[in-house]
Structure 1
Amino acid sequence: MKTPKRVQPLVDEGLIDEVLRQLMSGKEATVYVVRCGEEIRCAKVYKEASQRSFKQAISYQEGRKVKNSRQARAMEKGTRYGRKMQEEVWQNAEVDALYRLAAAGVRVPRPYICFEGVLLMDLVTDAGGNAAPRLNDVVLTEALALDYHAQLLKQVVLMLCAGVIHGDLSEYNILVDEHGPVIIDLPQAVDAAGNTSAEMMLERDVANLANYFSQFAPQLASSQYGKEIWKLYVAGLLQPDSILTGRVKLDHRPADVGAVMREMEIARREAEDERSRFQQHGI
């Protein structure tokens, strides 16, 4: 097929030899199957912000780092340069998450390079070498649903142990190869320790999995894996091989409001000190 304009720079640089076909077009990107020497990979071409239906909500951007204070100010003001920086941060979030998660043993496509808004990575395939189907296109039995759900919970735990939360996990951004589920689409991934919405996003991701698989395995509908995983995480007890039950014992003790307020005041002062250091050193 004709080489898309956005992919041409990678062809010119010798990173891609041929664009074979378009694989899919989604809310944030268009993906092409490409040939790189003897390897078949995929090129994810990010859409411009104005064309995406998935917006860069503040809750996703929180905790993401930029190179210097000038970039941070420009992004805050929404200048042309700031918008360009926002796009780079948005795209780099997926690349960084893929490298980080692949190193942690999470089943994600292996990334190679992100160049001019195009991410080159492995093509996930089925046993026949064809592009792997999305989870929502796979016919499931109760046994297979329980198996895939357990595999994905393990992936969620591995991700959280690596400090990453997907943030938009569902049956639409999970592929199924010959070995099981593979997690994709991570530009909205958040840092678990640096985002105040992390708990909500983790529980929502896990609830999405339970809601989908409960169509085939109804016993999953009442599970509380999200709350259980987060409780272990904040207690410093979450391990890649943690045994999960899907049940959480409720704590009926009255909350220590005074302690909570003191922790909030400490966090506020630390944030102010950090902000002052950034302003003083221009970083």
Structure 2
Amino acid sequence: MRDQNFASPRRRRFDDDDPTFLKRLSHDFDTAWDVAEEPAAESAEAGEAGEGEWTSWDSPGVQHGPEPVPDWVVTDLGARDVDRGVLKTGKEADVHLVERGVPGTDRRMLLAAKRYRAAEHRMFHRDSGYLEGRRVRASRVTRAMAGRTAFGREAIAGQWAAAEFAALARLWQLGVAVPYPVQLLGTELMLEFVGAPDGTAAPRLAQTRPDLDGLESLWWQLVDALRILARAGLAHGDLSPYNLLVDGERLVLIDLPQIVDVVINPNGTDFLARDVTNVARWFTGKGLRIDPEPLIVELLHDAGVR
């Protein structure tokens, strides 16, 4: 087992409950994405025939991700959005795989559409601690949220989606490895799909079995990301091996609706310490012994709370 020494100044550049993953999708992506062969034309013809809905890119009230918009994002108003199946179900939101493409062309992309559940089907069982320090302008809305009325629960759902969208946009601009937030419309957040062109999602860190060199690389990528968050006064708030993706050799942070302002939130330091402890425990269990305390102290100092 390899010990990790935080005394080294080494710097490298670079959610909820256990989710349920549904592996069957409603489309053969080998045909949809191999644009050099005839099946791609069949996919385009399906779009021309009316498969899916017109893109929501220009829908009233939609918010777009930060500029510059990556070249791979399909913004054509003639594009169609086709739901290809469920990637993940959770107590608070479901994640669908959506293909957005322009009929008759090879312009297409995959998106992860995170859809927060309606009030009667949702269980925001830990929202009170995360929402401390967050306020909305209308006092009526604040009271409704505090009282967990039906209207208040809807407001909380909207705040979760908006908070995750804003967090992803900010972290993307700071250079943290997160999915690019393509758009937000109501309580549906459309994100960059992290995975293969055939619709196979990148595995969660908890699903991987890297060797010691791979573990060390992933750990230092995580440390770099946590340092950037801390310097911005933030903590993930619910960090675990289940909301980190391993995309090839790259570690990607996901599931950020509960992102915490370490300074404003009275529980901020506890959330940050728990984040580090959770992931350090996983890495230690895989053979890279991590003492979380030195990193916790460093991050709190970077966040300006100690």
TM-score, length-scaled by structure 1: 0.73
Give unmatched runs, 5+ long, in structure 1.
3-9, 237-283
Change (3 A) 1:14 1:226: same
Q: Which residue of 2 aligns with 1:214?
A: 284
Question: How do 1:153-232 and structure 2 match up within 5 A?
Answer: 153-221=223-291, 224-232=294-302
1:127–1:178 Cα contact (<8 Å) kept:
no
For these two proteins, the number of residue pairs brought into alignment is 229
**C-alpha separation between the residues in 1 aligned to 2:144 and 2:255?**
27
SS in 2 for 1:17: strand
**C-alpha separation between the residues in 1 aligned to 2:120 and 2:235?**
25
Q: 2:97 aligns with which of 33, 38, 42?
A: 33
2:87–2:95 Cα contact (<8 Å) kept:
yes
Question: How do 1:112-151 and structure 2 match up within 5 A?
Answer: 112-126=182-196, 130-151=200-221
1:174–1:181 Cα contact (<8 Å) kept:
yes
Q: 1:108 aligns with which of 152, 172, 178?
A: 178
Residue 20 of structure 1: CA displacement? Answer: 1.5
Change (3 A) 1:127 1:162: farther
> Could you say which structure has the greater relative contact order, defined with CA pairs below 8 angstroms and 6 or more residues apart?
2
Question: How do 1:58-69 and structure 2 match up within 5 A?
Answer: 58-69=128-139
Q: Which residue of 2 aligns with 1:11?
A: 53
Q: Percent identity?
A: 34
1:49–1:55 Cα contact (<8 Å) kept:
no
SS in 1 for 2:176: coil
Change (3 A) 1:56 1:67: farther
**C-alpha separation between the residues in 1 aligned to 2:186 and 2:216?**
41
Q: Which residue of 2 aligns with 1:6?
A: none
SS in 2 for 1:43: strand
Q: Deviations along 1:233-269, whole A, 9 cap, x unmatched?
A: 3268xxxxxxxxxxxxxxxxxxxxxxxxxxxxxxxxx
Change (3 A) 1:80 1:171: same
Residue 119 of structure 1: CA displacement? Answer: 0.9
**C-alpha separation between the residues in 1 aligned to 2:83 and 2:292?**
46
Q: Which one has a larger percent helix, Structure 1 or Structure 2?
A: 1
Residue 216 of structure 1: CA displacement? Answer: 2.3
Change (3 A) 1:60 1:116: same
**C-alpha separation between the residues in 1 aligned to 2:123 and 2:210?**
29
Q: Deviations along 1:92-130, whole A, 9 cap, x unmatched?
A: 111111111111111111112222321111001259873
Change (3 A) 1:32 1:39: same
**C-alpha separation between the residues in 2 aligned to 1:153 and 1:169?**
12
Change (3 A) 1:49 1:60: farther
2:55–2:81 Cα contact (<8 Å) kept:
no
SS in 1 for 2:83: strand
**C-alpha separation between the residues in 1 aligned to 2:289 and 2:138?**
49
Change (3 A) 1:13 1:155: same
Residue 181 of structure 1: CA displacement? Answer: 0.8
Change (3 A) 1:179 1:136: same
1:127–1:177 Cα contact (<8 Å) kept:
no
Q: Which residue of 1 aligns with 2:125?
A: 55
The aligned amino acid for 2:81 is D
Change (3 A) 1:31 1:77: closer
2:116–2:157 Cα contact (<8 Å) kept:
no
TM-score, length-scaled by structure 2: 0.68
**C-alpha separation between the residues in 1 aligned to 2:292 and 2:81?**
50
2:83–2:97 Cα contact (<8 Å) kept:
yes
Cα RMSD (Å): 2.5
SS in 1 for 2:53: helix
Change (3 A) 1:214 1:205: same
The aligned amino acid for 2:84 is L
